[in-house]
Structure 1
């Protein structure tokens, strides 16, 4: 009797089942990571789009005021939109990364990996997932910077934006986003894969397995480098996404407005210190959860297959 999704001879999962486990692990990883840092994310977005200079004291004050005025749950305002986006986004991104690595021949099956191709695989994974989920990212940003009375639900964001600004508004800031995703995802995945390979080369004989804390640390390093490399473009896309007054119609107009009103370099790196806190936490949790969930799922399915085969074998 054949077991769907498995290979009897090798005890390995077929490609369709591998993709399914990647999608599942990616969705869990993204949801857990983003929920953990949602209050910090909301704070960062508010400073990114405003004129007030960022400081840790002001960020803490924002969190405290939000808690006092709107309640504890308000700290996670916009998280429903985040989940609606991050679950498919992370699932697609991690799975696309595995598939792009296969296409480019840097999935570990052909010996020594090319750094350029590892970077390209990460960038392409980021572009793939961002392109497919961008309107949800815009909706999440709108919800994060407004009061509940303006956008009560995710559906209301889509209806209101479509009626008042048109279909094109759902892709406001898309070019700057993709320009930022290329270095961010490329650097992030490249760093993580490189650190994983170094760890395996140095410690594979000494330690069996890839410990969650190790992957958490590697993911944190990858997140810090990736987000620092793309942060100015993240600022620009947030301004464009949340613009309802026509101040930021293009990337050039956004840069010029920021330069006139705030000073360009200060505005482009506003809130970066918070990103150095939340970014490594989020990316570390995401990568560690993905790797360990994926391996656990695959090990469970292979074990289940092998047990079924042994039961079905004629004595």
Structure 2
């Protein structure tokens, strides 16, 4: 018995079990690394894209929640007046709240999209290949819905900060505290239903368009990776189609989110739509600011998708280099 224990200790000392341990560790890293990579890439993509178009985004929200008529000239005047009154960096007011929301939102959305593509690819027998059209659309919609559900209160806070003066809310925490105290915790989820209804076509069409254009490009050009400008163009097309399809619900969402500070009492999707249409009309009401979205949307989505793809490629190359040097 003593010799058996000694042999076992000797074998442990010689490291016979270590290959199993290292094997399980490497197996764990193999599964977690893609998830961590996509989370980081998505967070970076969202942060860069939203910061680039923040002044246009803030201006669009201000018009969406007011009854003032939108035009490119009026949008320019609003931006210029804000700059003169509050300074250059005031054009990015609410961007800190946007970052608090968009970084987890984009990280979750892109990561979820990669996971849903993998799951649906296994289910439909397209593992490691481009998905067929319907699963491709479904993966995007599910990714957008997952991210929106988990980060919605942050979007509510961001909308409030975008349409109010600095004196009303001093910081993000102040918005949460004041809304909870004065309007109730339920207010943090006001506009949740139109958000869910809007994100399904928006995320679905955006991811579907981008993935489809990349697939068609690879088939026609016989190049596995598009050039930078091609990725930006594919992302721009994806943003244009996705945001146009879901825009009326975006207007409804903003009206419901900011009802507490604009003097309105929007409570339901249909009631909000009806009031907007009766006061401002269909095009001037439900599609107010869409032309600005046709400028900022393609830019933001193009930057977002391109940043995600290039960061993923860079991380994979860094991992391969590290693996080679070992």
Same fold flag (TM > 0.5): yes
Scaled by the length of structure 1, the TM-score of the pair is: 0.92
Q: Measure how far apart 1:209 and its partner are.
A: 3.5
C-alpha separation in 1, matches of 2:237 and 2:168: 38
- Cα shift readout 1:219-274 (whole Å, capped 9, x = no counterpart): 00000000000000000000001110452111122112112221233200001000
1:242-257 matches, cutoff 5 A: 242-244=258-260, 245-257=263-275
Greater RCO, 1 or 2 (C-alpha within 8 Å, sep 6+): 1
The answer as to 2:76 corresponding to 1:76 is no
Secondary structure of the corresponding residue to residue 167 of structure 2: coil
The answer as to 2:158 corresponding to 1:140 is yes
The answer as to 2:33 corresponding to 1:17 is yes
- Aligned residue in 1 for 2:323: 305
Structure 1: runs of 5 or more not aligned: 8-12, 309-315
The answer as to 2:32 corresponding to 1:30 is no
Scaled by the length of structure 2, the TM-score of the pair is: 0.89
C-alpha separation in 2, matches of 1:284 and 1:291: 11
Secondary structure of the corresponding residue to residue 14 of structure 1: helix
Greater helix share, structure number: 2
- Cα shift readout 1:85-134 (whole Å, capped 9, x = no counterpart): 00000000000001111111179526563211110100000000000000
Structural RMSD (CA): 1.9
Q: 1:273 to 1:5 in 2, by over 3 A?
A: farther
Q: 1:5 to 1:129 in 2, by over 3 A?
A: farther
C-alpha separation in 2, matches of 1:286 and 1:18: 18
- Aligned residue in 2 for 1:87: 103
C-alpha separation in 1, matches of 2:265 and 2:214: 44
- Cα shift readout 1:38-79 (whole Å, capped 9, x = no counterpart): 000000000001101110000000000000001101000000
C-alpha separation in 2, matches of 1:155 and 1:127: 25
- Aligned residue in 2 for 1:98: 114
